[in-house]
């Protein structure tokens, strides 16, 4: 497929390509990359790629929307870093639920230094499943992570010891439930342990490595011994105030802002999604957090060893033609 991109708003064709590349560097469940884009004279549209939903792990498309929200945050931030305001409308057409956002790069804007730092962190952020050292995350950095979530209208609650213990139990419980589900296992195997040539899915090389303690259970992406991980210095939950598609898309943007803030501050992160993927444990986690928030993402944050980047589909494969920007 050829790459046909025209200028969009104030962006040249080359700039459109660079911001789309930034968008596609977002994390996504099992590296499904469930997004599609159109580009036109007015701007860029982001669509959910319904063919890439995970029917077992993500039956209600919650994680698909979170992944696309992360891509949207990258897109907005990359456009901003070029000195252009990314005028964004989410769910612009009621009758088209897969059209998630329209971003119109219309007016020039002074570049915010913090957002420019986050834009630079986009290609450096990778999910890091290696064991994390015990070095604590300074309270000032925790404050930055909390602010990152709040700047995108989400919330990063401070977890006390009891809540952490409860969360850890929920992680173990949901992990076992998923492990015992043959349909989950089949879906899992389809998307993980991929050969290095694959453009999507989680490559074998992205798995973690052995550690002794079994305090937290991570998923096994390659090396089965990697599931048992020592207590990481920081575990956070990104929560949203509602649980509609718009809330989930917003939570994805908040998650990505948290992840990029971690990267910009020299920290590594990975996901512990089992308790939010299993409906029953997600409800209990919501209760554990005081019933005011919908838990969307659980992350461990700390200092890991360097990891390789995961592959992405070619840009031509995520571009829809012809452009349909009319909203
Ligand atoms: C909503 C969401 C949930 C995820 N859940 C997990 C998880 O439970 N365990 C895990 O190891 N990785 C998880 N990931 C990370 C993806 O596997 C990862 O983003 C993908 O393989 C691309 O790699 P990258 O993040 O290094 O770019 C999740 C990512 C997203 C966006």
Q: For 268-280, how does the pLDDT look when each residue is reduced to its tens digit (9 = 90+)?
A: 999 999 999 999 9
**42 and 162 housed in the same domain:** no
- Domain ranges, residue 95: 13-125+311-318
Range name among 5-19, 176-190, 193-207 with the lowest pLDDT average? 193-207
Instruction: Look at residue 14 and give its three-state secondary structure.
Output: helix
CA of 28 to the centre of ligand 1 (A): 5
Of ligand 1's listed atoms, the one at least distance from the Cα of 67 is 31
* C-beta separation of 302 from 135 below 8 A: yes
CA of 276 to the centre of ligand 1 (A): 13
Residue 57 falls within a domain, yes or no?
yes
Residue 5 falls within a domain, yes or no?
no
**33 and 111 housed in the same domain:** yes
CA of 103 to the centre of ligand 1 (A): 25
List ligand 1's pocket residues with C-beta within 6 A.
27-31, 63, 66-67, 70, 126-127, 129, 202, 219, 221, 270-273, 310
Q: Which residue's CA is the nearest one to ligand 1's atom 1? A: 63
**84 and 189 housed in the same domain:** no
**157 and 233 housed in the same domain:** yes
* Residue 308 confidence class, pLDDT cut points 50, 70, 90: confident
**288 and 257 housed in the same domain:** yes
Residue 220's pLDDT is: 53
CA of 129 to the centre of ligand 1 (A): 10
**Greatest pairwise CA separation for the chain in angstroms:** 56
Please report, for the domain that includes residue 22, its CATH number.
Answer: 3.40.109.10
**117 and 153 housed in the same domain:** no
**107 and 175 housed in the same domain:** no
Residue 204's pLDDT is: 77
**106 and 165 housed in the same domain:** no
Distance in angstroms (rounded) separating the CA atoms of residues 275 and 297: 9
Distance in angstroms (rounded) separating the CA atoms of residues 66 and 246: 10
* Residue 93 confidence class, pLDDT cut points 50, 70, 90: very high
- Specify the number of domains making up the chain: 2
Axis-axis angle for helices 245-264, 62-81 (nearest 10): 50
Residue 210's pLDDT is: 33
CA of 32 to the centre of ligand 1 (A): 9
Residue 4 falls within a domain, yes or no?
no
**102 and 148 housed in the same domain:** no
User: Considering the chain, what is the average pLDDT of its residues?
Assistant: 90
What are the Cα distances from residue 71, in Å, to 41, 122, 166, 169?
21, 10, 31, 31
**143 and 288 housed in the same domain:** yes
């Amino acid at each position: 497929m050829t790459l046909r991109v025209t200028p969009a708003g104030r962006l040249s064709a080359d700039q459109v390509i660079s911001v789309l590349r930034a968008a596609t560097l977002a994390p996504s469940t099992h590296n499904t990359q469930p997004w599609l884009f159109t580009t036109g004279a007015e701007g860029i549209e982001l669509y959910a790629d319904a063919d890439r939903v995970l029917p077992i792990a993500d039956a209600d498309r919650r994680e698909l929307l979170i992944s696309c929200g992360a891509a949207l945050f990258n897109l907005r931030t990359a456009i901003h870093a070029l000195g252009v305001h990314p005028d964004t409308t989410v769910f612009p057409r009621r009758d088209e639920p897969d059209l998630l956002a329209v971003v119109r790069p219309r007016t020039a804007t002074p570049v915010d230094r913090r957002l420019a730092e986050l834009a630079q962190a986009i290609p450096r952020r990778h999910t890091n499943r290696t064991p994390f050292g015990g070095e604590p995350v300074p309270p000032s950095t925790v404050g930055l992570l909390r602010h990152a979530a709040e700047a995108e209208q989400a919330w990063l609650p401070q977890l006390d010891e009891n809540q952490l213990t409860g969360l850890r139990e929920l992680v173990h419980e949901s992990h076992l439930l998923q492990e015992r589900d043959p349909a989950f296992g089949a879906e899992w195997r389809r998307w993980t342990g991929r050969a290095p040539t694959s453009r999507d899915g989680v490559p074998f090389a992205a798995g973690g490595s052995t550690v002794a303690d079994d305090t937290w259970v991570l998923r096994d992406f390659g090396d089965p011994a990697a599931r048992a991980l020592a207590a990481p210095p920081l575990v956070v939950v990104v929560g949203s105030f509602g649980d509609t598609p718009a809330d989930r898309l917003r939570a994805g943007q908040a998650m990505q802002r948290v992840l990029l803030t971690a990267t910009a501050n020299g920290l590594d992160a990975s996901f512990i999604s089992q308790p939010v993927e299993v409906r029953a444990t997600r409800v209990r986690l919501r209760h554990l957090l005081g019933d005011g928030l919908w838990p969307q993402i659980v992350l461990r944050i700390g200092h890991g060893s360097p990891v390789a980047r995961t592959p992405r589909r070619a840009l031509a494969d995520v571009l829809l033609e012809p452009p349909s920007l009319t909203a």
